[in-house]
Chains A and B, each alone.
Chain A
Amino acid sequence: MSYSSIFKKINSSFVTKSCVATVGLTSSFLLYTQTLSADALTAAEHGLHPPKFNWPENGFTQTYDHNSIRRGYQVYREVCASCHSLDRVYWRNLVGVSHTNSEVRDMAAEFEYDDEPDENGNPRKRSGKLADNILGPYPNEQAARAANQGALPPDLSLITRARHGNADYVFALLTGYPEENPAGVVLPPGSNYNPYFPGGAIAMGRVLFDDLVEYEDGTPATTSQMAKDVTEFLTWAADPFQDERKRLGLKTISILSALYFLSIWTKRFKWASLKNRKFVYNPKK
């Protein structure tokens, strides 16, 4: 007896068919009941998507707003830096972007770094210089967690590149703490509600309030102004070469597209005589 005939025999049997149907229906029903109680894949789980803001650097030829970067550094220093590090940014990076050389030297000198040990091997400290990175508030992750009830404040060097929604997300998160939590939301102890944070419960509380910092250029320090400036600063920190990249990109693309069309024209020019020639055969009579 061949396999196909066995298969036909079994397949045709009513018992087998009903078995298959029962298994299928039962498993679908069980899967369905799970969806009734499962908390996964709710809207809260994903977080509210941030809207798109008109960043100064949006657009093919638009650079960062360096006034904003300068103010944003001030906000970072006075507000964020008490919890968040900025490990991958070096003092020298700020020179010629938001601060002058002498300003950055003074800012770096306020921090203490490990120096080479003296001749007896005792550790020494020195003040910071341009080649040092910006020091975070905590010596290590454990210290950071211990100071923040177990939650680790992420390093901000690349934060706008490391989250869905990039700069929009950071801005929305900073300005998005509602005055009143949505009804029925239960938060774990020590956390705050923020709709943009996936899951909704974030350890960081609202930190930006109107007139928290005083800008040197007299800009009114509203919450959204500070959030915009610090986000602009962090976007620059995560992507410091954007201005130069856009300049070079414009240069390269314009030249290459000109050359591309030139090559098309040359090809057509060179081939014109070949494409237009006509062979005529006149047999002798």
Chain B
Amino acid sequence: MSFQSVIYNTFFKRNATYVTAVLFGAFAFQPSYDTFITRFIENNNKGKLWSDVKAKLGASGEDEDEDDE
């Protein structure tokens, strides 16, 4: 059985599996795409972000509070 027919038989063939796949796919897609974009932005702005500033501060022996944003 080819990959496509596996996909078809598991997700698309029956309405119940199809709707479930759409629903859970949406839930899985949102956070993963969000991390993807966030990582892209962070990679693009290395050294300019607050996390970088904070890391520098930490290196110079500043104590940190827990509830930094």
Contact = CB atoms under 8 A, between A and B. Distances in A.
Given A246-B41, A251-B33, A96 B48 contact: no
Contacts of A251: 33-34, 37
Given A61-B41, A247-B41, 10 more contacts: A62-B44, A66-B49, A95-B68, A96-B50, A98-B50, A100-B57, A101-B65, A102-B63, A251-B33, A251-B37
B40 interface: yes
B52 A66 contact: yes
B54 A100 contact: yes
A65 interface: yes
A247 B45 CA distance: 12
B67 A101 contact: yes
A102 B48 contact: no
Interface in A49-101: 56, 61-67, 70, 95-98, 100-101
A281 B68 CA distance: 77
Interface residues of A, number: 24
A213 B68 CA distance: 27
28 contacts: A61-B40, A61-B41, A61-B44, A61-B45, A62-B44, A62-B45, A66-B49, A66-B53, A67-B52, A67-B53, A70-B53, A96-B68, A96-B69, A98-B53, A100-B57, A101-B68, A102-B63, A102-B65, A103-B62, A217-B56, A246-B41, A247-B37, A247-B41, A250-B40, A250-B41, A251-B33, A251-B34, A254-B37
B18 to A, nearest CB: 16
Contacts of A70: 53
B69 A95 contact: yes
Interface of chain B, main secondary structure: helix
A14 B59 CA distance: 93
A63 B49 contact: yes
A6 interface: no
B38 interface: yes
A201 to B, nearest CB: 38
Contact of A100 (B37, B49, B64): B64
A102 to B, nearest CB: 5
A255 interface: yes
A4 B9 CA distance: 88
A64 B40 contact: no
Contacts of B67: 101
Contacts of B45: 61-63
Contacts of B33: 251, 255
Contacts of B53: 66-67, 70, 98
A98 B64 CA distance: 14
Nearest to A251: B37
Contacts of B65: 100-102
B49 to A, nearest CB: 6
A64 B48 contact: yes
A102 B68 CA distance: 9
Nearest to B36: A251
